[in-house]
Chains A and B, each alone.
Chain A
Amino acid sequence: MNPNLETDIRQICKEFGNDRGRMMDIVIAVQKKHGCVNDDAMDLIAKTVATHRVEVESTVSFYAFLSTRPRGTIVIRLCHDIIDKMHGSDAVAAALAREVGVPFGQTTSDGKITLEYAPCLGLCDQAPAALVNDVPVTNLSTDKARWMVQELRKHHDPNQLVTEFGDGNNAHELIRSMVYNNIRKRGEVVFAEMKPGEALQKALSMSPAEVIREIKASRLRGRGGAGFPTGMKWEFTRGAPGDNRYVMCNADEGEPGTFKDRVILTECPDLMFEGMTIAGYAIGGNTGILYLRGEYAYLRSYLEHVLADRRKKGLLGKSVCGAKHCFDFDIRIQMGAGAYVCGEETALISSCEGTRGDPKNRPPYPAQKGYLDCPSVVNNVETLCCAARIMEKGAAWFAQMGTTDSPGTKLLSVSGDCKRPGVYEVPFGIPVREVLAMVGAEDAMAIQIGGASGQMVGPKDYDRPISYEGLATGGSLMVFGPKRNVLEAAHMFMDFFVEESCGYCTPCRVGNVLLKDRLEKILNGQGEPGDLDYLQELGQTVKVLSRCGLGQTSSNPVLTTLKNFRNVYEGLVKVNQDKFQSSFDIKAALTPARKIIGRESVIYT
């Protein structure tokens, strides 16, 4: 055993109060120091925080960024979501594998470089992209990939790959990233100027009940996608019995094609933190947790700096905005470690409690029993920004924007086959066609709205508005040009869900694999008309019987393409006269036995 391991683990565990509820922080810190969390480390952690070894291992094995075995000192995670593939990530992957000398999933024999794939990194507007340890590298080409590996071989420092900085705060000394914000359109809610403290002062001059009344009057709904009325959520949480109440900000932006929270975190974290503080005041809580996805770790120091600054200004900490308000509130950042399902609110809470990101049964809802079984509000980054702005400018001002059922503005993350990918703040109710004109994608054959779990729609739906009552989206809008195959797109989304399902419930764990297999059969030209009914029925089963939002939406790529692009499916299937499955290949099935036995089949010659 590494002699330092024991000392380090004691030190790290102590730093987190030997609290097994902080298991995520502990294992992330151990991995950072020792490259992985191996068997010895897991035993030691379990002993130090007085829990079972299996608890530690179940956490470590769950998250993509954590490993029980040593990986390279440099881990290159290439994004292989659909948008990156459309922009040539397969060629980049081949170039990387050649230059590094190992295939994806492996580490070089000198232990220096590991190659891995990652689902959406939140950089679709500058794809193909990769994370080199924590450092995002964007707009990769095969040349740039080769250059990157050669550089890393020279200096082993991912930070030195950043030769020029992106726009805005990406150039801040605590971020120093090549990532671009690509803010294409600023609206009045999120991307307007703000003075830290102004909204908070206004909120604190009111009673918590009045704050909640104001949010309810604004008719603000959750921006993560589900659209639950925010004021109601806060009211339930305030009304639920409990000694402590928590505000959780969901910055686990993992929905493929979504990256607007990354831009908020880079450009307007004050607005978000202010929203969290206001929520804390409204529900009667003293602690906020920002759950930051592991892929955005490069923003952490900057966000910590913003928090420190707010503490200095009296906007966080003991007696926020002066003793007269009798309100203490502080925020900590909880790092994630690469798990899409943690964007689901109950899985996010599990992760914050230091366990696997397993969703929990609802009810009880987090408002009743959330983090550590205390009433908790879980809001999206953008929702909290809106809440702060509503306090600053008033519910009436907010409610007059957008539509009656979807007031305010919405940030769209636009990527794919368009001339101007990036983030757009538009009023709710805007027709798809108008957005497509704005982004330079008038010829779009299809769009996937709402991410992988959203819906794929074609031109006949382009006059529909983007809103909760129309086409709903948590922010993702992926554009597919005239040459793309919508079924291949649906297949890639299914790939994603198969990978990201937590495996707890059968409909999601098994159903998504079956959907993907049947889709493959059709794509291979071996489908028959009955397969479409099968997909419809199975898709519906997965939707209705899954335990959490992941499975309840994972069949959407199949169901919405079946609905909106049925002609594409019908063009690929044909009636099977002899009722033999054309996907079954007897010759291929016999190949291994023919080789072992050393003779040909006497039946199938």
Chain B
Amino acid sequence: MAKPKVATASLAGCFGCHMTVLDIDDRILKLIELVDFDKSPIDDIKHFTGRCAVGLIEGGCCNEENVHTLQDFRKHCDVLISVGDCATMGGIPAMRNGIPLEECYAEAYLVGPSVHNPSGRIPNDPELPLLLDKVYPCQEVVKMDYHIPGCPPSADTIWETLVALLSNKTVDLPYELIKYD
């Protein structure tokens, strides 16, 4: 039987959650016995090659490309998991939500203390995705099946969750793994 496939994406996140996936250390060898990786920055596969059992999403949606990627994941994955606080609640990027978008663009491209932009224009290349009016947590854009909190969630939490999911068992996380203060 073919191994189930896992895909991952980092949207408006810092890649910290992806780094933590690597933090499972030598268990990564066990992991590749259990699953194949599909579209993911880990193997640099850019497009889905087929249906995936699990999609791990880091980060919320701050621009149109994030939305597009997330919707693509929803189409291709049976189970979609928000990994970390940004995916679950918006996290640090969502701190801009109280600030008008115009001011955010200005700070980034026009008036910020480290900005060097003699043209005085906001870049307008079609390659640059348009920002959304605010940063959305993933479940406000598509239905998410599970949420793993943490900034980042520990490697053990991610590992236990994946193993439970792939072996069709109820995930039973010990208190230490879901305690955050």
Contacts and interface: CB of A to CB of B under 8 A. Distances in A.
A597 B122 contact: yes
A599 B126 CA distance: 9
B27 interface: no
A326 interface: no
Nearest to B63: A593
B20 interface: no
Contact of B130 (A528, A579, A584, A590): A590
Contacts of B133: 588-593
Size band of the interface chain A makes with B = 20 to 34
Interface in A235-278: none
A250 B101 CA distance: 48
Size band of the interface chain B makes with A = 20 to 34
B63 to A, nearest CB: 8
B107 to A, nearest CB: 13
A1 interface: no
Contact of A581 (B65, B129, B142): B142
Given A581-B141, A586-B64, A589-B136, A596 B105 contact: yes
Given A579-B142, A580-B141, A581-B141, A586 B67 contact: yes
Nearest to B142: A580
A578 interface: yes
B102 A603 contact: no
Contacts of A592: 100-102, 133
A332 interface: no
Nearest to B124: A597
Interface stretch (B34-42, B68-76, B168-176): B68-76
A363 interface: no
Interface string B90-133: 00000000001110010000000000000000101010011111
Contacts of B122: 596-597
A113 to B, nearest CB: 31
Nearest to A598: B124
Nearest to A593: B130
B140 interface: yes
Contact of B74 (A580, A588, A594): A580
Contacts of A593: 101, 130-133
B139 interface: yes
B143 interface: yes
Nearest to B145: A579
A578 B80 CA distance: 13
B142 A603 contact: no
Contacts of B141: 580-581, 584
Given A579-B74, A586-B67, A604-B64, A597 B130 contact: yes
A580 B144 CA distance: 9
B131 A579 contact: no
A528 B139 CA distance: 13
A530 B65 CA distance: 27
B143 A589 contact: no
A192 interface: no
Given A579-B143, A589-B132, A602 B126 contact: yes
Interface string A176-205: 000000000000000000000000000000
A588 B67 CA distance: 13
Given A596-B105, A601-B64, A590 B139 contact: no
B130 A601 contact: yes
Contact of A603 (B74, B129, B139, B143): B129
A599 B102 CA distance: 15
A604 B143 CA distance: 20
B105 to A, nearest CB: 6
A603 B105 contact: no
Nearest to A586: B67
Interface in B48-85: 64-65, 67-68, 71, 74-75
Contacts of B130: 590, 593-594, 597, 601
Interface string B136-154: 1001111100000000000
Interface in A542-592: 576, 578-581, 583-584, 586, 588-592
A581 B139 contact: yes
A103 B71 CA distance: 41
B71 A581 contact: no
Contacts of A598: 124
10 contacts: A530-B143, A578-B74, A580-B74, A580-B143, A588-B133, A589-B133, A589-B134, A592-B101, A599-B124, A604-B64
Given A578-B74, A580-B141, A589-B136, 6 more contacts: A579-B142, A581-B141, A581-B142, A592-B133, A596-B122, A604-B68
Interface of B: 64-65, 67-68, 71, 74-75, 100-102, 105, 122, 124, 126, 129-134, 136, 139-143
Please provide the 3 A-B residue pairs with the shortest distance between their CB atoms, ordered closest to farther: A593-B130, A579-B143, A589-B132
